[in-house]
Amino acid sequence: MKKPFLLLALVFASLLTACAPSPTPTPTPLPTATPEPTGPILALVGGLLIDGTGSDPVADATVVIQGGRVIAAGPRSQVSIPSDAKVVDVAGAAILPGFINAHIHDGYDADNLTAWAREGVTTVRDLGGPTDFARRDALNADLRHARLVAAGPLVTVPGGYPGVPWGSTWGLAVTSPEDARRKVNKLLDDGADVVKIALEAGASFNQNIPSLSPAEAKAIVETAHARGVWVSAHVLVVSDLKRTLDAGADDIAHMVLDGLTEDLARQVAEKGTYWVPTLELWHATSPLNGTRAINNLRRFVQAGGIVALGTDYDGYSSPFQLGMPIKEMEWMLQAGMTPMQVIVAGTRNAAIVCGLGDEIGTLQAGKAADILVVDGNPLDDIHALARVRMVLHGGEVVRE
């Protein structure tokens, strides 16, 4: 069953016909010291290494894995392979970090998590769901599942999005800046990985609904940042986007549908605010919305903005692509992104908006061995990402 609050703005967003169409994000905490890896060693050799950093690909590369971590990654001539390593020849394939879908729903579904992992999407970020963080932890204990990063409920106000008109219980309502600080601290104490705020005043569906005040929104962001936690803001129109920038949120959930000017796109880019455009969502609502979203993403990319990949999986009544979000990537390419920019959006940048930039997202020594091996070169054909040869999650082979 679809969650009512996730349908609300999206159903009515298609009615938009009038318009044709943070401070620097909080750095992820420094990693704590980890013991030297032990156990069996696996070496992938002979593949094209695309490490997620945006650096040039490395031909005839080697990646060495032990204890769930990347031990080394680089040209075969420069990487020493231990004599007791199991060597797997992946000639003709590309070696990439596991991908990340940074905006999904229904992430507490074990079948969904298994399907994502098998397709090489080794982490997902659920931006609206229950506060059952104990279940999240239980699901994450099984490496056959994609890693689940969870926000819990959206932080909103009484009667605000996502509570209208169906009275959804998936929002956490605050009544003042002080109440916001208290409730957000409680949400983080309960185990939320990220905080999502609803800066939705109803303009996207021709209504005027209560929304977080500037003081409340700022209090939420300050509270989360004081604890090293990322803040994502639900936004659908330019007027709410401006409030997001004032509040200092770290990423924007959804590309706006009305007129994103070059000047405003540049403001977002200069603040270092990440954008998760969810193009698959907008194409699901209507072709016109999809075109508007692509055009606005193009302006943001041309302004030098930072994009992270996310689809809003299961956030609308139409079916979404479960697994590797190739459709989303095709539309990102249409918006003028290069294949390398798309890959970085789905790896390094998506890891950062999950608050896990020091742990996953790139194939570098010391990081978790979340690895996707695909036949072909996705820099030549993005569809190669769907031709899976091998997936590792935390160093364990979950598909071969």
Structure confidence by residue, pLDDT tens digits, 284-334: 999 999 999 999 999 999 999 999 999 999 998 899 999 999 999 999 999
Q: Are residues 283 and 300 in the same domain?
A: yes
Q: Are residues 125 and 258 in the same domain?
A: yes
Residue 85 lies in a domain: yes
**Cα(82)–Cα(338) distance, integer angstroms:** 36
Q: Are residues 108 and 70 in the same domain?
A: no
CATH number at residue 83: 2.30.40.10
Residue 103 has phi, psi (to 5 degrees) of -150, 100
* Domain residue limits at 84: 41-96+365-399
Portion of the chain with pLDDT greater than 90, in percent: 82
Q: State the average pLDDT for the chain.
A: 90
Tell me what pLDDT residue 126 has.
Answer: 97
Structure confidence by residue, pLDDT tens digits, 60-85: 999 999 999 999 999 999 999 999 99
Residue 248 lies in a domain: yes
Confidence class for position 129, pLDDT limits 50, 70, 90: confident
Residue 204 lies in a domain: yes
- Identify the three-state secondary structure at position 219: helix
Helix or strand holding residue 228 (H, E): none
Q: Are residues 129 and 261 in the same domain?
A: yes
User: Per this entry, what is the length of the chain?
Assistant: 400
Q: Is the pLDDT of residue 105 over 90?
A: yes
Number of domains composing the chain: 2
Q: Are residues 59 and 145 in the same domain?
A: no
**Cα(224)–Cα(241) distance, integer angstroms:** 19
Q: Is the pLDDT of residue 117 over 70?
A: yes
Q: Is the pLDDT of residue 167 over 60?
A: no
Confidence class for position 170, pLDDT limits 50, 70, 90: confident
CATH number at residue 284: 3.20.20.140
Q: Are residues 87 and 105 in the same domain?
A: no
Residue 72 lies in a domain: yes
The average pLDDT across 90-95 equals: 98
Structure confidence by residue, pLDDT tens digits, 234-278: 999 999 999 999 999 999 999 999 989 999 999 999 999 999 999
Are 115 and 322 in contact by the 8 Å Cβ rule? The answer is yes
Q: Are residues 53 and 116 in the same domain?
A: no
Q: Is the pLDDT of residue 29 over 50?
A: no
Q: Are residues 51 and 182 in the same domain?
A: no
Q: Are residues 241 and 213 in the same domain?
A: yes
Instruction: For 67-132, give the DSSP string.
Output: TTEEEEEEEGGG-PPPTTPEEEE-TTEEEEEPEEEEEES-TT-HHHHHHHHHTTEEEEEE-S----
**Cα(312)–Cα(318) distance, integer angstroms:** 11
**Cα(88)–Cα(333) distance, integer angstroms:** 32
The average pLDDT across 101-111 equals: 96
Peptide bond into 162 cis (omega under 30): yes
Give the residue among 241, 253, 249 at the shortest CA–CA distance from 220: 249
The average pLDDT across 2-13 equals: 42
**Cα(241)–Cα(309) distance, integer angstroms:** 19
Q: Are strands 41-49 and 58-66 parallel, antiparallel or unpaired?
A: antiparallel
Residue 358 lies in a domain: no
Residue 222 lies in a domain: yes
H helices of the chain, in order, are 4-13, 110-118, 133-140, 177-190, 214-226, 238-247, 262-271, 279-285, 287-302, 326-334, 339-346, 348-353
- Identify the three-state secondary structure at position 62: strand
Q: How many CB atoms lie within 10 A of CB 379?
A: 17
Q: Is the pLDDT of residue 138 over 60?
A: yes
Are 180 and 174 in contact by the 8 Å Cβ rule? The answer is yes
| 100 DSSP β-pair partners | 123
Confidence class for position 160, pLDDT limits 50, 70, 90: confident
Q: Are residues 327 and 382 in the same domain?
A: no
Q: Are residues 199 and 110 in the same domain?
A: yes
Residue 360 lies in a domain: no
Q: Are residues 125 and 256 in the same domain?
A: yes
Tell me what pLDDT residue 169 has.
Answer: 59
Structure confidence by residue, pLDDT tens digits, 14-26: 434 333 333 444 4
Are 95 and 59 in contact by the 8 Å Cβ rule? The answer is no
Residue 33 lies in a domain: no
